[in-house]
Chain A
Amino acid sequence: MMSHTGFVLASYGAAIIVLAALIGWIFIDQRSQRQALQELESRGVRRRSETKMDNAS
């Protein structure tokens, strides 16, 4: 009855690995979107809504 420690460790281990992969993927996605935005902004590209606002002001 007490020899089930392996199943408990496997459950917690699987949870940690899978959640770490999910969190890592979200952080990598965040970095690539931020870099793409910065790169476009540094080239002077604006969204249409922003250019409209600029013209209005």
Chain B
Amino acid sequence: MSDAVSKTGRWIDLANPTRFLSLAGGILPWLGGLTVLVLAIGFWMSMNAPDDYQQGSTVKIMFIHVPFAWLSMMCYTIMSVAALGTLVWRHPLADVSAKAAAPIGAVFTALALITGSLWGKPMWGTWWVWDARLISVFVLFLMYLGIIALTRAMDDPAKSAKATAILTLVGFINIPIIKFSVDWWNTLHQPASVLRMGGSTLDPSYLKPLLVMAIGFTLLFFTLHMMAMRNEIWRRRVTAMRRVAARSADRGTVS
């Protein structure tokens, strides 16, 4: 058995849930520690960033709002790749990955909306406007909720996997709409200032803490995603083992 595993490529080995579990067990303590370290440095840099001459202290909301918004889209992109993995390659971990990512993506999207609202009130004078950027992100949040409901609607994950994958891929159309909504339509939300043609317009005193926070929250996402994937593999094993136990109990051969 061990021979067969070692003969295949490293990437293929990951498709084996048992390999993934041992890999996750080794990586997670380091990834978690690195996450805490980077977020602590990022938080310290954010608190020491100067107040903006126009926005005052509210500019500090940017250091969490922007990473949450980026991650809400990155998470959905990862789920779309996983959906392709389910539909095209039937990768055994693809559905596990998509199902585990959905609640994390929903949380980051909700936080992007909450922090955006708390930034909008003092700067725009309103908690919420129905402009293209805000609507498209709200639609993203609703899609996360739909996917979460669908992944948990059926007892057998094999049944919900295909439907979830198709729904996820159809919904991916929303990601470029979110990204370019601020260019295509006249929105109250400002256009991109970091990832744009011609480079960032942010001053380094804001760009540096923002990038460190973005890296920190990205590491947090991958830590939580890996933990949630491991939980999902264990959950499926528990279900499978309970079925075996129920069957052997039926036969009267309690092992």
Contacts and interface: CB of A to CB of B under 8 A. Distances in A.
A4 B61 CA distance: 11
B228 interface: yes
Interface residues on B, range: 35 or more
Contact of B230 (A15, A18, A30, A40): A30
Interface in B55-85: 56-58, 60-61, 64-65, 68
Contacts of B51: 2
B224 A22 contact: yes
A45 B107 contact: no
A29 to B, nearest CB: 5
Contacts of B184: none
Nearest to A39: B238
A40 B235 CA distance: 12
Contacts of B121: 7
B224 A1 contact: no
Interface in A12-57: 12, 14-15, 18-19, 22-23, 25-26, 29-30, 33-34, 36-37, 40, 43-48, 53
Contact of B56 (A2, A14, A25, A34): A2
Contacts of B118: 7, 10-11, 14
Given A5-B57, A7-B61, A8-B61, A15 B111 contact: yes
Nearest to B116: A11
A19 B51 CA distance: 26
Contacts of A10: 118
B107 A29 contact: no
A5 B65 CA distance: 16
Contacts of A25: 103
B114 interface: yes
Interface in B217-251: 220, 224, 227-228, 230-231, 234-235, 237-238, 240-242, 244-245, 248
A33 B235 contact: yes
A44 B255 contact: yes
A7 B122 contact: yes
A1 B56 contact: yes
Contacts of B227: 26, 30
A8 B57 contact: yes
A40 B122 contact: no
Given A19-B220, A23-B224, A30-B234, 4 more contacts: A11-B118, A22-B107, A33-B231, A45-B244
15 contacts: A10-B118, A11-B64, A14-B111, A19-B220, A23-B224, A29-B235, A30-B231, A30-B234, A33-B238, A37-B237, A40-B241, A40-B242, A45-B241, A45-B242, A48-B240
